[in-house]
Structure 1
Protein backbone atom coordinates (compact mmCIF):
# COMPACT_ATOMS: atom_id res chain seq x y z
CA UNK A 1 0.00 0.00 0.00
CA UNK A 2 1.57 3.27 -1.13
CA UNK A 3 0.38 6.52 0.44
CA UNK A 4 0.63 9.67 -1.67
CA UNK A 5 1.32 12.82 0.35
CA UNK A 6 0.62 15.96 -1.66
CA UNK A 7 2.15 19.22 -0.50
CA UNK A 8 5.06 17.22 0.93
CA UNK A 9 7.28 20.31 1.21
CA UNK A 10 4.84 22.10 3.53
CA UNK A 11 4.55 22.31 7.30
CA UNK A 12 2.09 19.41 7.55
CA UNK A 13 3.05 17.33 4.53
CA UNK A 14 6.75 17.18 5.39
CA UNK A 15 5.96 15.98 8.90
CA UNK A 16 3.45 13.44 7.64
CA UNK A 17 5.98 11.96 5.22
CA UNK A 18 8.51 11.67 8.06
CA UNK A 19 5.91 10.06 10.35
CA UNK A 20 4.96 7.48 7.74
CA UNK A 21 8.61 6.73 6.94
CA UNK A 22 9.45 6.18 10.62
CA UNK A 23 6.56 3.73 10.89
CA UNK A 24 7.64 1.80 7.82
CA UNK A 25 4.73 2.64 5.52
CA UNK A 26 5.50 3.04 1.80
CA UNK A 27 5.07 6.73 0.99
CA UNK A 28 5.39 8.98 -2.02
CA UNK A 29 5.80 12.72 -1.51
CA UNK A 30 4.75 15.20 -4.17
CA UNK A 31 5.07 18.89 -4.92
CA UNK A 32 4.53 21.13 -7.94
CA UNK A 33 8.29 21.64 -7.96
CA UNK A 34 10.07 18.42 -7.07
CA UNK A 35 13.34 20.30 -6.52
CA UNK A 36 11.87 21.75 -3.31
CA UNK A 37 11.41 18.30 -1.77
CA UNK A 38 13.77 16.90 0.82
CA UNK A 39 12.32 13.49 1.61
CA UNK A 40 13.43 10.83 4.11
CA UNK A 41 15.29 7.81 2.84
CA UNK A 42 12.99 5.30 1.19
CA UNK A 43 10.25 7.82 0.35
CA UNK A 44 9.48 8.13 -3.36
CA UNK A 45 9.37 11.53 -5.05
CA UNK A 46 6.79 12.79 -7.52
CA UNK A 47 6.23 16.11 -9.28
CA UNK A 48 2.51 16.83 -9.30
CA UNK A 49 0.21 19.76 -9.96
CA UNK A 50 -3.22 18.93 -8.54
CA UNK A 51 -4.89 21.28 -11.01
CA UNK A 52 -3.38 19.37 -13.95
CA UNK A 53 -4.44 15.74 -14.45
CA UNK A 54 -1.91 15.03 -17.21
CA UNK A 55 0.78 12.30 -17.29
CA UNK A 56 2.30 13.50 -14.01
CA UNK A 57 -0.93 12.68 -12.17
CA UNK A 58 -1.10 9.17 -13.58
CA UNK A 59 2.54 8.58 -12.61
CA UNK A 60 2.07 9.97 -9.09
CA UNK A 61 -1.05 7.82 -8.54
CA UNK A 62 0.44 4.54 -9.73
CA UNK A 63 -0.03 1.91 -7.00
CA UNK A 64 -1.51 4.43 -4.55
CA UNK A 65 -4.21 3.26 -2.16
CA UNK A 66 -4.57 6.36 0.05
CA UNK A 67 -3.90 10.09 -0.40
CA UNK A 68 -3.23 13.01 1.90
CA UNK A 69 -4.68 15.88 -0.08
CA UNK A 70 -3.42 19.41 0.45
CA UNK A 71 -5.89 22.15 -0.57
CA UNK A 72 -5.04 24.26 -3.60
CA UNK A 73 -6.61 27.19 -5.40
CA UNK A 74 -8.24 25.91 -8.57
CA UNK A 75 -10.26 22.93 -9.68
CA UNK A 76 -9.05 19.44 -8.76
CA UNK A 77 -12.00 17.56 -10.26
CA UNK A 78 -9.86 15.95 -12.94
CA UNK A 79 -7.26 14.85 -10.38
CA UNK A 80 -9.78 13.14 -8.10
CA UNK A 81 -11.33 11.47 -11.15
CA UNK A 82 -7.86 10.17 -12.02
CA UNK A 83 -7.51 8.97 -8.42
CA UNK A 84 -10.73 6.98 -8.70
CA UNK A 85 -9.57 5.47 -11.99
CA UNK A 86 -6.20 4.57 -10.42
CA UNK A 87 -7.92 2.59 -7.66
CA UNK A 88 -7.37 4.96 -4.75
CA UNK A 89 -9.59 3.88 -1.85
CA UNK A 90 -9.29 6.62 0.78
CA UNK A 91 -8.43 10.31 1.10
CA UNK A 92 -7.54 12.49 4.07
CA UNK A 93 -8.27 16.08 3.07
CA UNK A 94 -6.69 18.96 4.95
CA UNK A 95 -9.26 21.76 5.04
CA UNK A 96 -9.97 24.73 7.30
CA UNK A 97 -12.70 25.76 9.76
CA UNK A 98 -13.19 28.65 7.34
CA UNK A 99 -15.20 26.15 5.28
CA UNK A 100 -18.01 26.21 7.86
CA UNK A 101 -17.47 29.03 10.35
CA UNK A 102 -19.84 32.00 10.54
CA UNK A 103 -18.41 34.93 8.60
CA UNK A 104 -15.94 32.75 6.70
CA UNK A 105 -17.67 29.93 4.82
CA UNK A 106 -19.03 32.31 2.18
CA UNK A 107 -15.88 34.45 1.97
CA UNK A 108 -12.78 33.81 -0.20
CA UNK A 109 -10.93 31.38 2.10
CA UNK A 110 -14.08 29.43 2.87
CA UNK A 111 -15.05 29.15 -0.79
CA UNK A 112 -11.60 27.86 -1.75
CA UNK A 113 -11.73 25.07 0.81
CA UNK A 114 -15.36 24.18 0.14
CA UNK A 115 -14.60 23.80 -3.57
CA UNK A 116 -11.91 21.20 -2.80
CA UNK A 117 -14.18 19.43 -0.30
CA UNK A 118 -16.97 19.33 -2.89
CA UNK A 119 -14.67 17.82 -5.53
CA UNK A 120 -13.63 15.01 -3.18
CA UNK A 121 -17.20 14.35 -2.02
CA UNK A 122 -18.55 14.31 -5.58
CA UNK A 123 -15.89 11.80 -6.61
CA UNK A 124 -17.39 9.15 -4.35
CA UNK A 125 -14.03 8.46 -2.69
CA UNK A 126 -14.17 7.48 0.96
CA UNK A 127 -12.63 10.39 2.82
CA UNK A 128 -12.15 12.24 6.09
CA UNK A 129 -11.83 16.02 6.24
CA UNK A 130 -9.45 17.48 8.83
CA UNK A 131 -10.27 20.89 10.27
CA UNK A 132 -7.25 22.08 12.29
CA UNK A 133 -7.45 25.21 14.40
CA UNK A 134 -5.04 28.16 14.18
CA UNK A 135 -1.60 26.74 13.37
CA UNK A 136 1.32 27.25 15.74
CA UNK A 137 3.41 27.93 12.63
CA UNK A 138 1.34 31.08 12.00
CA UNK A 139 3.39 32.76 14.72
CA UNK A 140 6.47 32.41 12.50
CA UNK A 141 4.67 33.34 9.31
CA UNK A 142 3.00 36.45 10.73
CA UNK A 143 5.30 37.73 13.47
CA UNK A 144 8.85 36.36 13.23
CA UNK A 145 10.18 39.08 10.92
CA UNK A 146 8.84 41.84 13.16
CA UNK A 147 10.17 40.24 16.33
CA UNK A 148 13.64 39.69 14.87
CA UNK A 149 13.80 43.25 13.57
CA UNK A 150 12.18 45.24 16.38
CA UNK A 151 11.23 43.00 19.29
CA UNK A 152 7.63 44.13 18.75
CA UNK A 153 4.49 42.93 16.94
CA UNK A 154 1.99 45.31 15.33
CA UNK A 155 -1.43 43.68 15.30
CA UNK A 156 -5.10 44.50 14.92
CA UNK A 157 -7.53 42.74 17.26
CA UNK A 158 -4.83 41.31 19.51
CA UNK A 159 -7.53 40.07 21.90
CA UNK A 160 -8.91 37.69 19.26
CA UNK A 161 -9.16 34.12 20.56
CA UNK A 162 -7.24 31.22 19.00
CA UNK A 163 -6.39 27.63 19.92
CA UNK A 164 -2.90 27.07 18.49
CA UNK A 165 -2.27 23.53 17.25
CA UNK A 166 1.14 21.92 16.78
CA UNK A 167 1.75 20.74 13.18
CA UNK A 168 3.14 17.44 14.46
CA UNK A 169 -0.26 16.64 15.98
CA UNK A 170 -2.00 17.20 12.64
CA UNK A 171 0.55 14.97 10.92
CA UNK A 172 0.11 12.19 13.47
CA UNK A 173 -3.68 12.30 13.17
CA UNK A 174 -3.42 12.16 9.38
CA UNK A 175 -0.97 9.24 9.55
CA UNK A 176 -3.31 7.28 11.83
CA UNK A 177 -6.28 7.85 9.54
CA UNK A 178 -4.30 6.88 6.44
CA UNK A 179 -3.04 3.62 7.96
CA UNK A 180 -5.80 2.59 10.40
CA UNK A 181 -9.59 2.51 10.03
CA UNK A 182 -10.48 3.23 13.66
CA UNK A 183 -11.38 6.91 13.37
CA UNK A 184 -12.34 7.27 9.72
CA UNK A 185 -15.34 9.55 10.11
CA UNK A 186 -16.61 12.21 7.71
CA UNK A 187 -14.61 14.89 9.51
CA UNK A 188 -12.31 15.46 12.49
CA UNK A 189 -11.98 18.85 14.18
CA UNK A 190 -8.47 19.28 15.62
CA UNK A 191 -7.34 21.91 18.12
CA UNK A 192 -4.50 22.67 20.45
CA UNK A 193 -4.91 22.17 24.21
CA UNK A 194 -6.20 25.61 25.20
CA UNK A 195 -7.76 28.84 24.04
CA UNK A 196 -5.75 32.05 24.32
CA UNK A 197 -5.69 35.57 22.97
CA UNK A 198 -3.29 36.46 20.18
CA UNK A 199 -1.44 38.77 22.56
CA UNK A 200 -1.04 35.81 24.94
CA UNK A 201 0.68 33.88 22.15
CA UNK A 202 3.07 36.79 21.66
CA UNK A 203 3.77 36.80 25.40
CA UNK A 204 4.68 33.10 25.24
CA UNK A 205 7.15 33.86 22.45
CA UNK A 206 8.74 36.50 24.66
CA UNK A 207 8.90 34.08 27.57
CA UNK A 208 10.59 31.43 25.41
CA UNK A 209 13.11 34.01 24.16
CA UNK A 210 13.66 35.45 27.63
CA UNK A 211 12.77 38.96 26.48
CA UNK A 212 9.68 41.14 26.47
CA UNK A 213 7.94 41.25 23.10
CA UNK A 214 5.60 44.22 22.94
CA UNK A 215 2.28 44.16 21.10
CA UNK A 216 1.47 47.41 19.30
CA UNK A 217 -2.30 47.57 18.84
CA UNK A 218 -3.21 49.00 15.44
CA UNK A 219 -6.46 49.81 13.68
CA UNK A 220 -7.92 47.83 10.80
CA UNK A 221 -6.80 50.57 8.40
CA UNK A 222 -3.27 50.49 9.78
CA UNK A 223 -3.21 46.71 9.41
CA UNK A 224 -3.99 47.12 5.70
CA UNK A 225 -1.12 49.58 5.32
CA UNK A 226 1.32 47.39 7.23
CA UNK A 227 0.48 44.35 5.11
CA UNK A 228 1.65 46.23 1.98
CA UNK A 229 -0.33 43.99 -0.34
CA UNK A 230 1.28 40.74 0.82
CA UNK A 231 -2.18 39.20 1.29
CA UNK A 232 -4.93 39.88 -1.30
CA UNK A 233 -7.24 42.56 0.09
CA UNK A 234 -10.46 40.42 0.15
CA UNK A 235 -8.68 37.67 2.09
CA UNK A 236 -7.10 40.13 4.54
CA UNK A 237 -10.48 41.77 5.12
CA UNK A 238 -11.99 38.36 5.86
CA UNK A 239 -9.18 37.50 8.30
CA UNK A 240 -9.64 40.82 10.11
CA UNK A 241 -13.41 40.34 10.30
CA UNK A 242 -12.96 36.90 11.84
CA UNK A 243 -10.43 38.21 14.36
CA UNK A 244 -12.74 41.05 15.33
CA UNK A 245 -15.64 38.63 15.84
CA UNK A 246 -13.65 36.45 18.27
CA UNK A 247 -12.51 39.26 20.57
CA UNK A 248 -13.75 38.42 24.06
CA UNK A 249 -14.70 34.89 23.02
CA UNK A 250 -13.22 31.52 24.00
CA UNK A 251 -11.94 29.50 21.06
CA UNK A 252 -13.21 25.94 20.76
CA UNK A 253 -11.12 23.12 22.24
CA UNK A 254 -11.56 19.45 21.30
CA UNK A 255 -9.92 16.25 22.55
CA UNK A 256 -9.64 14.79 19.04
CA UNK A 257 -5.84 14.77 18.97
CA UNK A 258 -5.68 12.76 22.19
CA UNK A 259 -8.45 10.36 21.13
CA UNK A 260 -6.69 9.50 17.88
CA UNK A 261 -3.00 9.69 18.79
CA UNK A 262 -3.23 8.56 22.43
CA UNK A 263 -1.38 11.61 23.78
CA UNK A 264 -2.57 15.11 24.73
CA UNK A 265 -2.31 17.84 22.13
CA UNK A 266 1.07 19.56 22.22
CA UNK A 267 1.26 23.13 23.47
CA UNK A 268 2.22 26.24 21.52
CA UNK A 269 5.21 26.58 23.85
CA UNK A 270 6.52 23.18 22.80
CA UNK A 271 6.59 24.29 19.15
CA UNK A 272 8.19 27.62 20.05
CA UNK A 273 10.85 25.91 22.17
CA UNK A 274 11.86 23.85 19.15
CA UNK A 275 11.83 26.84 16.77
CA UNK A 276 13.02 29.73 18.92
CA UNK A 277 15.87 30.48 16.52
CA UNK A 278 13.34 31.70 13.96
CA UNK A 279 12.39 34.56 16.29
CA UNK A 280 15.81 35.55 17.65
CA UNK A 281 17.70 38.55 16.41
CA UNK A 282 20.79 37.74 14.37
Structure 2
Protein backbone atom coordinates (compact mmCIF):
# COMPACT_ATOMS: atom_id res chain seq x y z
CA UNK A 1 0.00 0.00 0.00
CA UNK A 2 1.27 3.50 -0.84
CA UNK A 3 1.44 6.50 1.52
CA UNK A 4 -2.13 7.76 1.68
CA UNK A 5 -3.87 11.12 1.68
CA UNK A 6 -7.19 10.62 3.47
CA UNK A 7 -10.16 12.78 2.47
CA UNK A 8 -12.88 12.78 5.15
CA UNK A 9 -16.12 14.04 3.66
CA UNK A 10 -15.06 13.22 0.11
CA UNK A 11 -18.57 13.57 -1.35
CA UNK A 12 -19.43 16.70 0.61
CA UNK A 13 -19.40 20.42 -0.10
CA UNK A 14 -15.63 20.92 -0.15
CA UNK A 15 -14.34 17.35 -0.30
CA UNK A 16 -15.37 16.72 -3.91
CA UNK A 17 -13.01 19.36 -5.24
CA UNK A 18 -10.19 18.18 -2.98
CA UNK A 19 -10.47 14.78 -4.70
CA UNK A 20 -10.77 16.31 -8.18
CA UNK A 21 -7.66 18.46 -7.73
CA UNK A 22 -5.26 16.23 -5.81
CA UNK A 23 -4.31 13.79 -8.61
CA UNK A 24 -3.26 16.69 -10.87
CA UNK A 25 -1.32 18.38 -8.09
CA UNK A 26 0.63 15.29 -6.98
CA UNK A 27 1.53 13.96 -10.44
CA UNK A 28 5.23 14.09 -9.55
CA UNK A 29 4.44 11.97 -6.48
CA UNK A 30 2.56 9.17 -8.20
CA UNK A 31 3.20 6.83 -5.28
CA UNK A 32 0.53 8.64 -3.26
CA UNK A 33 -2.82 6.95 -2.83
CA UNK A 34 -5.89 9.14 -2.34
CA UNK A 35 -8.51 7.57 -0.10
CA UNK A 36 -11.96 9.14 0.08
CA UNK A 37 -14.57 8.22 2.65
CA UNK A 38 -18.25 7.96 1.80
CA UNK A 39 -21.45 6.79 3.44
CA UNK A 40 -22.31 4.73 0.34
CA UNK A 41 -20.26 3.43 -2.56
CA UNK A 42 -23.49 3.34 -4.58
CA UNK A 43 -23.78 7.11 -4.39
CA UNK A 44 -23.30 8.55 -7.93
CA UNK A 45 -20.79 11.09 -6.60
CA UNK A 46 -18.80 8.29 -4.92
CA UNK A 47 -18.75 6.33 -8.16
CA UNK A 48 -17.62 9.38 -10.13
CA UNK A 49 -14.76 10.02 -7.69
CA UNK A 50 -13.72 6.36 -7.63
CA UNK A 51 -13.13 6.50 -11.39
CA UNK A 52 -10.40 9.14 -10.99
CA UNK A 53 -6.82 7.74 -11.21
CA UNK A 54 -5.07 7.27 -7.83
CA UNK A 55 -8.41 7.57 -6.01
CA UNK A 56 -9.99 4.82 -3.92
CA UNK A 57 -13.32 5.20 -2.16
CA UNK A 58 -14.32 3.34 1.01
CA UNK A 59 -17.51 3.20 3.06
CA UNK A 60 -16.44 4.35 6.49
CA UNK A 61 -17.89 6.48 9.29
CA UNK A 62 -15.05 8.85 10.16
CA UNK A 63 -16.21 9.11 13.77
CA UNK A 64 -15.21 5.44 14.23
CA UNK A 65 -11.64 5.90 12.99
CA UNK A 66 -8.87 5.04 15.45
CA UNK A 67 -5.07 5.14 15.31
CA UNK A 68 -4.80 1.49 14.27
CA UNK A 69 -7.02 2.03 11.22
CA UNK A 70 -4.99 5.08 10.17
CA UNK A 71 -1.77 3.06 10.46
CA UNK A 72 -3.23 0.12 8.55
CA UNK A 73 -4.25 2.46 5.72
CA UNK A 74 -0.80 4.13 5.79
CA UNK A 75 -2.38 7.56 6.11
CA UNK A 76 0.19 10.37 6.20
CA UNK A 77 -1.96 13.41 5.34
CA UNK A 78 -5.61 14.22 6.01
CA UNK A 79 -8.34 16.54 4.82
CA UNK A 80 -11.35 16.73 7.11
CA UNK A 81 -14.62 18.60 6.79
CA UNK A 82 -16.27 17.71 10.11
CA UNK A 83 -19.98 17.90 10.80
CA UNK A 84 -21.24 20.85 12.89
CA UNK A 85 -23.75 18.99 15.01
CA UNK A 86 -23.86 19.60 18.78
CA UNK A 87 -21.49 16.66 19.40
CA UNK A 88 -18.88 18.02 16.95
CA UNK A 89 -16.16 18.52 19.58
CA UNK A 90 -16.53 14.97 20.89
CA UNK A 91 -16.11 13.42 17.44
CA UNK A 92 -13.56 15.80 15.96
CA UNK A 93 -11.26 15.89 18.99
CA UNK A 94 -11.25 12.07 19.15
CA UNK A 95 -10.19 11.97 15.50
CA UNK A 96 -7.23 14.28 16.18
CA UNK A 97 -6.14 12.22 19.17
CA UNK A 98 -6.08 9.19 16.84
CA UNK A 99 -4.20 11.18 14.18
CA UNK A 100 -1.58 12.20 16.73
CA UNK A 101 -1.13 8.63 17.94
CA UNK A 102 -0.89 7.35 14.36
CA UNK A 103 1.89 9.82 13.49
CA UNK A 104 -0.03 11.75 10.82
CA UNK A 105 2.30 14.32 9.24
CA UNK A 106 -0.16 17.02 8.20
CA UNK A 107 -3.87 17.75 8.11
CA UNK A 108 -6.10 20.44 6.69
CA UNK A 109 -9.42 21.05 8.44
CA UNK A 110 -12.46 23.07 7.47
CA UNK A 111 -13.47 25.48 10.21
CA UNK A 112 -16.05 28.26 9.98
CA UNK A 113 -16.10 32.04 9.56
CA UNK A 114 -13.68 33.92 11.78
CA UNK A 115 -16.62 36.00 13.04
CA UNK A 116 -18.35 32.94 14.46
CA UNK A 117 -15.29 31.58 16.28
CA UNK A 118 -14.74 32.34 19.96
CA UNK A 119 -15.26 31.10 23.52
CA UNK A 120 -18.32 33.33 23.99
CA UNK A 121 -19.75 33.04 20.49
CA UNK A 122 -23.55 32.71 20.35
CA UNK A 123 -23.01 30.28 17.46
CA UNK A 124 -22.64 26.79 18.92
CA UNK A 125 -20.37 25.43 16.19
CA UNK A 126 -18.25 28.60 16.43
CA UNK A 127 -17.46 27.66 20.02
CA UNK A 128 -16.66 24.10 18.96
CA UNK A 129 -14.22 25.23 16.26
CA UNK A 130 -12.59 27.62 18.74
CA UNK A 131 -12.09 24.76 21.20
CA UNK A 132 -10.67 22.47 18.50
CA UNK A 133 -8.19 25.07 17.28
CA UNK A 134 -7.10 25.78 20.86
CA UNK A 135 -6.64 22.04 21.45
CA UNK A 136 -4.51 21.59 18.34
CA UNK A 137 -2.39 24.59 19.38
CA UNK A 138 -1.20 22.89 22.58
CA UNK A 139 2.38 21.57 22.91
CA UNK A 140 1.10 17.98 22.99
CA UNK A 141 0.26 18.37 19.27
CA UNK A 142 3.65 19.75 18.19
CA UNK A 143 4.35 16.68 16.03
CA UNK A 144 1.11 17.12 14.05
CA UNK A 145 1.23 19.90 11.47
CA UNK A 146 -2.16 21.41 10.63
CA UNK A 147 -3.89 24.25 8.85
CA UNK A 148 -7.41 25.49 9.57
CA UNK A 149 -9.42 27.03 6.73
CA UNK A 150 -12.01 29.60 7.81
CA UNK A 151 -14.40 30.06 4.88
CA UNK A 152 -16.91 32.85 4.72
CA UNK A 153 -20.57 31.88 4.32
CA UNK A 154 -20.89 29.19 1.64
CA UNK A 155 -22.89 29.92 -1.50
CA UNK A 156 -24.66 26.59 -1.00
CA UNK A 157 -26.06 27.82 2.32
CA UNK A 158 -27.52 31.09 1.07
CA UNK A 159 -28.45 30.39 -2.56
CA UNK A 160 -30.68 27.31 -2.17
CA UNK A 161 -33.94 29.26 -2.30
CA UNK A 162 -32.69 31.14 -5.36
CA UNK A 163 -31.96 27.86 -7.12
CA UNK A 164 -35.41 26.52 -6.16
CA UNK A 165 -37.07 29.67 -7.58
CA UNK A 166 -35.31 29.25 -10.94
CA UNK A 167 -36.11 25.52 -11.10
CA UNK A 168 -39.78 26.11 -10.32
CA UNK A 169 -40.00 28.84 -12.94
CA UNK A 170 -38.38 26.63 -15.57
CA UNK A 171 -40.62 23.70 -14.72
CA UNK A 172 -44.00 25.37 -14.24
CA UNK A 173 -43.59 28.96 -15.34
CA UNK A 174 -44.56 30.14 -11.86
CA UNK A 175 -42.97 33.12 -10.15
CA UNK A 176 -42.94 32.05 -6.52
CA UNK A 177 -42.50 34.22 -3.46
CA UNK A 178 -38.70 34.39 -3.11
CA UNK A 179 -37.37 34.07 0.43
CA UNK A 180 -33.72 35.02 0.98
CA UNK A 181 -31.70 34.82 4.19
CA UNK A 182 -29.46 37.58 2.86
CA UNK A 183 -30.18 41.21 3.64
CA UNK A 184 -31.09 43.44 0.72
CA UNK A 185 -28.00 45.68 0.85
CA UNK A 186 -25.48 44.24 3.32
CA UNK A 187 -22.34 42.99 1.50
CA UNK A 188 -21.31 39.37 2.04
CA UNK A 189 -18.46 37.79 0.06
CA UNK A 190 -20.11 34.38 -0.30
CA UNK A 191 -17.54 31.70 -1.14
CA UNK A 192 -18.08 28.72 -3.42
CA UNK A 193 -17.19 25.41 -1.67
CA UNK A 194 -15.20 24.31 -4.73
CA UNK A 195 -12.82 27.23 -4.24
CA UNK A 196 -12.24 26.17 -0.63
CA UNK A 197 -11.62 22.58 -1.72
CA UNK A 198 -9.04 23.79 -4.22
CA UNK A 199 -7.12 25.65 -1.51
CA UNK A 200 -7.14 22.52 0.67
CA UNK A 201 -5.88 20.36 -2.20
CA UNK A 202 -3.00 22.73 -2.92
CA UNK A 203 -1.97 22.69 0.74
CA UNK A 204 -2.10 18.89 0.91
CA UNK A 205 0.04 18.60 -2.23
CA UNK A 206 2.88 20.76 -0.94
CA UNK A 207 6.16 18.95 -0.53
CA UNK A 208 6.74 20.89 2.68
CA UNK A 209 3.61 22.34 4.32
CA UNK A 210 5.60 23.59 7.35
CA UNK A 211 5.18 27.31 6.48
CA UNK A 212 1.41 26.82 6.90
CA UNK A 213 1.61 24.90 10.18
CA UNK A 214 -0.90 26.17 12.76
CA UNK A 215 -2.16 28.79 10.31
CA UNK A 216 -5.81 29.83 10.28
CA UNK A 217 -6.71 31.27 6.89
CA UNK A 218 -9.76 33.33 5.96
CA UNK A 219 -11.31 32.45 2.58
CA UNK A 220 -13.83 34.79 0.99
CA UNK A 221 -15.39 34.77 -2.43
CA UNK A 222 -14.15 37.16 -5.16
CA UNK A 223 -17.02 39.66 -4.93
CA UNK A 224 -19.39 41.27 -2.47
CA UNK A 225 -22.94 39.97 -2.81
CA UNK A 226 -26.20 41.11 -1.25
CA UNK A 227 -29.84 40.13 -1.58
CA UNK A 228 -30.51 42.55 -4.42
CA UNK A 229 -27.59 41.13 -6.43
CA UNK A 230 -28.96 37.61 -5.92
CA UNK A 231 -32.27 38.78 -7.38
CA UNK A 232 -30.43 40.30 -10.35
CA UNK A 233 -28.58 37.00 -10.92
CA UNK A 234 -31.84 35.05 -10.77
CA UNK A 235 -33.36 37.33 -13.37
CA UNK A 236 -30.26 37.08 -15.59
CA UNK A 237 -30.28 33.28 -15.54
CA UNK A 238 -34.04 32.72 -15.71
CA UNK A 239 -34.94 35.57 -18.02
CA UNK A 240 -37.88 36.32 -15.73
CA UNK A 241 -38.63 39.20 -13.38
CA UNK A 242 -38.75 38.45 -9.64
CA UNK A 243 -41.85 40.28 -8.47
CA UNK A 244 -42.17 39.16 -4.84
CA UNK A 245 -39.09 38.92 -2.62
CA UNK A 246 -38.53 38.83 1.14
CA UNK A 247 -35.10 39.50 2.60
CA UNK A 248 -33.74 38.36 5.99
CA UNK A 249 -36.04 35.37 6.06
CA UNK A 250 -34.96 32.89 8.74
CA UNK A 251 -37.99 30.61 8.81
CA UNK A 252 -35.86 27.91 7.15
CA UNK A 253 -34.25 27.44 10.57
CA UNK A 254 -37.55 26.80 12.37
CA UNK A 255 -37.19 23.02 12.11
CA UNK A 256 -33.91 23.06 14.06
CA UNK A 257 -35.64 23.28 17.44
CA UNK A 258 -33.37 24.41 20.25
CA UNK A 259 -30.61 25.24 17.75
CA UNK A 260 -32.76 27.97 16.18
CA UNK A 261 -31.47 30.71 18.51
CA UNK A 262 -27.87 29.89 17.65
CA UNK A 263 -28.50 29.80 13.90
CA UNK A 264 -30.44 33.04 14.09
CA UNK A 265 -27.53 34.63 15.97
CA UNK A 266 -25.23 33.54 13.13
CA UNK A 267 -27.42 35.26 10.54
CA UNK A 268 -27.54 38.43 12.60
CA UNK A 269 -23.74 38.49 12.58
CA UNK A 270 -23.82 38.04 8.80
CA UNK A 271 -26.24 40.96 8.51
CA UNK A 272 -23.91 43.17 10.59
CA UNK A 273 -21.65 43.99 7.64
CA UNK A 274 -18.57 42.11 8.87
CA UNK A 275 -18.56 39.60 6.01
CA UNK A 276 -17.67 41.84 3.08
CA UNK A 277 -14.32 41.90 1.27
CA UNK A 278 -13.21 45.10 2.99
CA UNK A 279 -14.15 44.08 6.52
CA UNK A 280 -12.87 40.51 6.23
CA UNK A 281 -10.33 40.10 3.41
CA UNK A 282 -9.10 36.74 2.21
CA UNK A 283 -5.74 35.81 3.74
CA UNK A 284 -2.79 36.75 1.52
CA UNK A 285 -1.45 33.20 1.78
CA UNK A 286 -4.68 31.86 0.27
CA UNK A 287 -4.46 34.32 -2.63
CA UNK A 288 -0.93 33.07 -3.35
CA UNK A 289 -1.98 29.41 -3.13
CA UNK A 290 -5.27 29.46 -5.06
CA UNK A 291 -7.23 32.69 -5.31
CA UNK A 292 -11.02 32.09 -5.04
CA UNK A 293 -12.55 33.04 -8.39
CA UNK A 294 -16.08 31.60 -8.61
CA UNK A 295 -18.64 34.40 -8.94
CA UNK A 296 -22.31 34.46 -7.98
CA UNK A 297 -23.79 33.65 -11.39
CA UNK A 298 -21.38 30.74 -11.88
CA UNK A 299 -22.20 29.32 -8.44
CA UNK A 300 -25.91 29.49 -9.21
CA UNK A 301 -25.43 27.75 -12.56
CA UNK A 302 -23.45 24.94 -10.91
CA UNK A 303 -26.10 24.45 -8.24
CA UNK A 304 -28.78 24.27 -10.91
CA UNK A 305 -27.00 21.26 -12.43
CA UNK A 306 -26.93 19.31 -9.17
TM-score, L = length of structure 2: 0.75
In the alignment, which residue of structure 1 is the partner of 2:21? 19
CA deviation after TM superposition for structure 1 residue 219, in Å: 6.6
In the alignment, which residue of structure 2 is the partner of 1:184? 212
Q: For structure 1, which runs of at least 5 residues remain unmatched after alignment?
A: none
Please tell me whether the aligned partners of residues 68 and 91 of structure 1 are also in contact (alpha carbons under 8 angstroms): yes
Change (3 A) 1:243 1:87: closer
In the alignment, which residue of structure 2 is the partner of 1:260? 289
TM-score, L = length of structure 1: 0.80
Q: Which moved more, 1:123-132 or 1:94-103?
A: 94-103
Listed as ranges, the matches of 1:84-233 within 5 Å are: 84-98=100-114, 100=116, 105-122=121-138, 124=141, 125-149=144-168, 150-155=175-180, 157-180=183-206, 181=208, 184-185=212-213, 186-214=215-243, 216-217=245-246, 223-224=250-251, 227-229=253-255, 232-233=259-260
Q: Structure 2: how far apart are the matches of 1:20 and 1:143? A: 31
Please tell me whether the aligned partners of residues 159 and 248 of structure 1 are also in contact (alpha carbons under 8 angstroms): no
Q: Which moved more, 1:232-241 or 1:243-252?
A: 243-252
Could you say what the CA RMSD is over the residues aligned between the two structures, in angstroms? Answer: 3.2
Q: Structure 2: how far apart are the matches of 1:15 and 1:215? A: 35
Q: For structure 2, which runs of at least 5 residues remain unmatched after alignment?
A: 169-174
1:68 aligned to which of 79, 91, 94: 79
Q: Structure 2: how far apart are the matches of 1:248 and 1:79? A: 30
Change (3 A) 1:158 1:103: farther
Please tell me whether the aligned partners of residues 206 and 213 of structure 1 are also in contact (alpha carbons under 8 angstroms): yes
SS in 2 for 1:229: helix
In the alignment, which residue of structure 1 is the partner of 2:268? 241
2:4 aligned to which of 2, 21, 44: 2
Q: Structure 1: how far apart are the matches of 2:145 and 2:14? A: 21
CA deviation after TM superposition for structure 1 residue 14, in Å: 1.1
Q: Structure 1: how far apart are the matches of 2:219 and 2:82? A: 17
CA deviation after TM superposition for structure 1 residue 265, in Å: 2.4
Q: Deviation string for 1:143-162 (max 9, x for gaps)?
A: 32344334442235333321
